[in-house]
Structure 1
Amino acid sequence: MNEPTQPAGRGARPAPGAPVVLRNATVLTMDDRRTVLRDTDVLIIGERIEAVGPALAVPEGAFEIDAGGGIVLPGMIDTHRHMWQTAMRGYGADWTLTQYFVWYYLQHGKHFRPEDVYAGNLLAAIEAIDAGVTTTVDWSHGLQTPQHADAAVDALEEIPGRFVLAYGNIQAGPWEWTAAPEFREFVERRFRGGDMLGFQLAFDVTGDPAFPEKAAFEVARDLGAPVTTHAGVWGATNDDGIRLMHEHGFMTPGTVYVHAATLSTDSYHRIAATGGSVSVSTESEQSCGQGYPPTWALRAHGIPVSLSMDTSVWWSGDLFSAMRATLGADRAREHLQAHAEGQTVTHTHLRAEQVVEWATRGGARALGMDDMVGSIEPGKKADVVLIKNEHSPVMSPILHPYGHVAFQAQRGDVHTVVINGRVVKHEHRLVDVDLAKARRAVESTVEHLRGALGDEAWAAGMNPDVPETKILDNPYTYTDFRTAATHGG
């Protein structure tokens, strides 16, 4: 090792494969003790973190980044994002969950072509890395054909982020599409190992006593693929689905239960006992109606938590807002419950450091990647984010680093993003990413969808009336099963 080199000039970019060192940062290591290190360097060589400490000596030719006055933390991890829907960013800002089901599940979701899935995934992938989200689960339940699936993966492989394709298809029963030979051929053809693109199966369990989803779980087991499922969603999935999964032995440590907002104590016990985790999408749950964000219940039952943003059809595509909303929702409930009992909360139970952990290492644990990413420690893969903005009055002073990340920082403060040792964003600008191409693809998708629906339906869809027919009985078009929990028992 040589003496430290001079900091890189503004606008400079590292040479391919060159070591990278971030100097003099406040480092949130997210190790087992949630250690905070001041005036600390992080040295990256190849794909991994080589060293963490003050005034590190670095190899000749290392690319230096002045991180003084900034916060370095592990790359954030989003465990549930419907990336294929990103072309419709903001379209459903005033939707309820029912209106989402009507639009995507029952009416217009079938209009998406493979190229539309590609466009949504491409823009979503760029959006993720721009916001410091280095690993994203593409909860891709719009894969009506293998061609749609190929398009989804094509987009993910084009962007230098870490992704997990959670394969799903809301237009057919999971016991049907998982049994198709072309599905198995797609998996064998596109997933050849490596840690930049993972694989899950994404489907829901309706609670039908016949448990037709059993066949899909068996395929997942055969493939060695974890299952991610929307559980505890008002009007769609309930405790019966959890019970059926448990009775048939399909609840595993790798299972990710999304939302889990309307479950009973018994269901939470089953999740805790089998080692599963819950992906909480607080902005989604508190806005569109899955149920109250369940972090209070998950903490009470010792269930691991990760965070997700769900879909850009409603909300922002970053985890800063997810952390902020999660703290707000959990604390609001704690205060309201205390007030109802004539009490006052003097010390909040959910702390900023916990939600920052959920947004980073919590996601790594949920995806079985904790030995690889999720913390700033030597030997881990170099998925690292620097939050620093000399032009923002919000980024000074930094007194409580965890609180600053959770409540003060935002997407515009993401200065540098390193994924797998590669600098993909620096000085607030993406590196070697063609955003213009993604915008053109999305414009084409919007034009197609608007044409397929017609101008009147397109405009009405932004604030649709609920049809008079009893569409609330069940959002899933592939089953006739009804229960009281789906408004038609």
Structure 2
Amino acid sequence: MTPQAPRPEEFAAGRPVLFRDATVLTMDPAIGVLDRGDVLVRGERIDQVGRDLQAPEEAVVVDCAGGILMPGMVDTHRHMWQTALRGLGSDWTLSQYFVFYYLTWGKIFRPEDIHAGNLLSAVEAVDAGVTTTVDWSHGLQTPEHGDAAVEALRAVPGRFVLAYGNLLGAPWEWVNSPDFRAFVDRNFSSRDDMLGLQLAFDVTGDAAFPEKAAFEAARELGLPVTTHAGVWGATDDRGIRLMWDHGFMTPDVTYVHSATLSEDSYHRIAASGGTVSVSAESEHNAGQGYPPTWRLRRHGIPVSLSVDTSVWFSADLFSAMRATLSADRTREHMTAHETGETVVHNSLRARDVVEWATIGGAGVLGLSDTIGSLTPGKQADLVLIKNDRSPAMYPILHPYGHVVYQATRADVHTVLVNGTMVKYAHELVGADLGRARDAVAATVEYARTAMGEDAWREAVEPEIPETETISNPYHYSDYRGEGVAVRQQEG
């Protein structure tokens, strides 16, 4: 007889949880992949990983047969506040994105709108198995906007890092303002494993290097920096050289995108111990440059994955893994075709992008000793991918490939964050989706009214310039031949 599945209320605080009979992707090279493996969680930590583990008498047992158990995924760059306008910019270019947020409408977002976007984005992240998310929050025009962002992140049972930014302000000014320092003291005066802090700002390449004061503040506060680098038309090698020359390229810096840099810049990132966050779906569509994983691999630069923003793209790491692997392989094939050659072995494997989405992301955040793998002693952030109603979830023959190419966010069955059950049997636990939806509905109504219908329609359907149609030499009417229908010329 099949044992009855536990009910959500049985996952009471303090009760051990035994995940039984899964394909376990530990992402720990010392343990590897376990067929029909078990993972025992006690409190906030992973207690045991193995086969045929003894269930403690008080344990809740989760039947994982037919499923894949893996570490919680880590997203190192997501503009969570923009989730309030999900999909609005599906047809934008990067220039149109800049015009919308930086020049035109970014200023209309109130603290409650930041809160709404963050709330929905945070719920969405844990629902999709992303247990740690960097909120690249560059809509924080005031500390009150920052407080709203923090409040939303603390309201959802996930692990987050607030990367504080202000796209409408000068970073060397706001990071040194008394109001920002008060914000830090107010919200981050003590260590919190569930909410960290970074600084988020870009380096424009101005020879005067005004960003120096922002880097100095980050060093004074002991905060990592995340910066958009190698973005076509926005940030380039000049910014990298300025950071290098002034001694601010360190292991505490994450370079987002890094898609249009020179070999010299990649050398500097590698030599300084820097890391890169790749957003392949964004880079493909928005035009930052071609996803650079092939270059990063050559230089040995640590890679993590991110989704960028759901104002444009998918907000789950299944899509990010798939887009990243496809981009890297496409580039390898096209390069070979240019010289008349054929690729016979794929350099980048499915396992690699799963690593980037888990232990790689943890490493970029300096948390590889805490999360990112199913290793005894680590914090219990884990995801069960299991969907008995989906024909695509059977059979599981290549588990890494299955995660990348077959599974979707709809297949996320169970999510633990820090040992707390936040999703079980495809249903959220402890995250108020209804509240988030209501908050976002209010923001959408406000934004649409503030913008006006003409601007709103222009955002949804940006103008398409007329383009010249190529003349086709095979469209003709004077050919005569036996058995061929003849179209009569007009006139």
Q: TM-score, normalised by structure 1?
A: 0.93
- Partner in structure 2 of residue 56 of structure 1: 53
Counterparts in 2 of 1:370-409, with a 5 A limit?
Answer: 370-409=368-407
What stretches of structure 1 move > 6 A for 4+ residues in a row? none
Structure 2 Cα separation of the partners of residues 66 and 290 of structure 1: 44
**Is residue 2:85 matched to residue 1:88?**
yes
SS at match of 2:395: coil
- Structure 1 residues 258 and 389: alpha-carbon distance in aligned structure 2, compared to 1, 3 A threshold: same
2:262 maps to 1:268: no
- In structure 1, give the amino acid aligned to 2:277: S
Which amino acid in the other structure matches residue 375 of structure 2? E
SS in 2 for 1:461: helix
Residue by residue over 1:189-226, the C-alpha shift from the partner in whole angstroms, topping out at 9 and shown as x without a partner, is 10121210011000000000100000000000001000
Distance 2:29 2:108 in 1: 47
Shift of residue 35, structure 1, vs aligned partner = 1.0
Q: Is 1:353–1:403's contact at 8 Å kept on the other side of the alignment?
A: yes
Name the SS for the 1:193 alignment partner: coil
2:200 corresponds to: 202
Query: 1:46-445, aligned counterparts within 5 Å?
Result: 46-191=43-188, 192-445=190-443
Moved more, 31-40 or 335-344: 31-40
Determine if contact 1:18/1:46 at 8 Å carries over to the other structure.
yes
Alpha-carbon offset, residue 188 of structure 1: 1.1
In the alignment, which residue of structure 1 is the partner of 2:474?
Answer: none
Paired residue secondary structure (2:460): coil
What amino acid does structure 2 have at the position aligned with 1:56?
A: L
Distance in 1 (alpha carbons) for counterparts of 2:195 and 2:9: 29
Q: Distance in 2 between the 1:126 and 1:438 partners?
A: 8
Between 1:129-138 and 1:191-200, the stretch displaced more is 191-200
Deviation at 1:59, TM superposition (A): 2.2
Measured after TM superposition, the shift of residue 7 of structure 1 is 5.7
Aligned equivalent of 2:454, options 414, 434, 456: 456
**Cα distance, 1:58 vs. partner?**
2.7
**After the TM superposition, which residues 3-22 of structure 1 pair with which residues of structure 2 at under 5 Å, given as runs?**
8-9=5-6, 13-22=10-19
Q: What is the CA deviation profile of residues 346-372 of structure 1, one whole-angstrom value per residue up to 9, with x for unaligned ones?
A: 001000000000000000000000000
Deviation at 1:16, TM superposition (A): 2.1
Q: 1:268-327 CA distances to partner (integer Å, 9 max, x unpaired)?
A: 000000111100000000111000000011011111100000000011110000000011
Q: Is the 8 A contact 1:28 1:73 kept in 2?
A: yes
Q: How far has the Cα of 1:461 moved from its partner?
A: 1.2
Moved more, 158-167 or 455-464: 455-464
CA contact (8 A) 1:7 1:64 kept: no
Amino acid at match of 2:159: R
- The offset of 1:33, in angstroms, is 5.4
- Percent identity, aligned pairs only, is 67
Cα 1:35/1:7, change in 2 over 3 Å? farther
Cα distance between partner residues in 2 of 1:285 and 1:33: 34
Q: Given residue 186 of structure 1, which amino acid in structure 2 is its aligned partner?
A: F
1:36 matched to 2:33? The reply is yes
**Quick one: which amino acid aligns to residue 211 of structure 1?**
F
Counterpart Cα distance in 2 of 1:351 and 1:33: 19
Question: Whole-Å Cα distance in 2 between the matches of residues 8 and 222 of structure 1?
Answer: 51
Describe the superposition over 1:414-453 as per-residue Cα deviations: whole angstroms up to 9, x where unpaired.
Answer: 0000000001000000002211110000000001100101
Contact conserved, 2:91 with 2:462, CA < 8 A, in 1? no
Unaligned runs of 5+ in 1: 468-489
Question: Is this contact kept in 1: 2:6–2:60, CA < 8 A?
Answer: no
The Cα of 1:63 is off from its aligned counterpart by 1.1
Which residue identity does 1:282 align to in structure 2?
Answer: A
- How many aligned positions are there? 463
